[in-house]
Amino acid sequence: MSRKSGIGSMDLAGDVWLFDCGEATQHQLQKSVLRMGKIKKIFITHTHGDHIFGLVPLISTLANGAGGAVGDVGDPRLQTQLDIDPLEIYGPLGTRAYVRASLTYTHSVLARQYVVHELRFPDDPPDGDNSSLPIHTSEIPGRNIPQVDGVWRNIFRDDAVAVCAGPILHSVPCVGYVITEAPIPGKMDPKKYIPDIKRTKAPMTCMSRLQQGQSIELPDGTVLHGPPR
């Protein structure tokens, strides 16, 4: 996981997750080393414009969209690419309605589906979309995730990472995301072993046995255990 640009982003085994999406985010992305096509999830902390004004333009670019398809007849963008995972967006109440209204009123047609999951505060309506507009043609119904014991646990989880969130004090409803990586099996931290190996003048070849998950006994009786595999 690494921060590779001034943009709030994470690179997860090639997938890119974006945190907030202010105005002109896609222009910043074009100048960065991040590959826009790898963006799989976008996490919005709150719906102030400087955190969300760039979201719909970015969605449109990622989904090969554009506005104003007259009549929508024969428009190749209407062939939704169902083989591509939908773009997943997380944010507080209002994120879904904002995206839906922006896409709807700009007559935007997307060639990829998207979904907006909302983290609902206790004072928010627990259900519904908070929108009088019908669902957009490219939108998949998202989850409304309730706060439990003051936090939103495991809003996303797979074998590698878990994402939780908690409320952040701000002038509008705001959430902070916490990403926890699972330990990587078999990954060895040499710094943990080298001082003991050097101190006891044991051969450095011990390291390869430790790397294989074995335990070794050093000349002074100290036992080192390789990482679990």
Q: Which residues are catalytic?
A: 50
Distance (Å, whole) CA 51 – CA 22: 4
Name which of 46 and 96 has its Cβ closer to Zn ion.
Answer: 46
Question: CB 170 → Zn ion: shortest distance, Å?
Answer: 6
Tell me the window of 5-13, 46-54, 76-84, 87-95 that interacts with Zn ion (CB under 5 A): 46-54
Nearest to 59 by CA among 34, 89, 84: 89
Name which of 46 and 136 has its Cβ closer to Zn ion.
Answer: 46
Distance (Å, whole) CA 110 – CA 59: 9
Nearest to 21 by CA among 47, 66, 53: 53
Distance (Å, whole) CA 34 – CA 15: 10
C-alpha distance from residue 171 to each of 24, 49, 90, 144, 201 (Å): 23, 13, 19, 22, 60
Distance (Å, whole) CA 209 – CA 155: 39
Question: CB 46 → Zn ion: shortest distance, Å?
Answer: 5
Name which of 1 and 172 has its Cβ closer to Zn ion.
Answer: 172
Per-residue binding letters, 111-150, with Zn ion (x by CB under 5 A)? ----------------------------------------
Name which of 40 and 48 has its Cβ closer to Zn ion.
Answer: 48
Cβ–Cβ < 8 Å for 56, 110? no
Question: CB 150 → Zn ion: shortest distance, Å?
Answer: 21
Per-residue binding letters, 68-97, with Zn ion (x by CB under 5 A)? ------------------------------
Question: CB 55 → Zn ion: shortest distance, Å?
Answer: 14
Interface with Zn ion (CB under 5 A), residue from 5, 11, 36, 48: 48
Nearest to 65 by CA among 24, 105, 29, 103: 103
Given the rule CB under 5 A, which residues bind Zn ion? 48
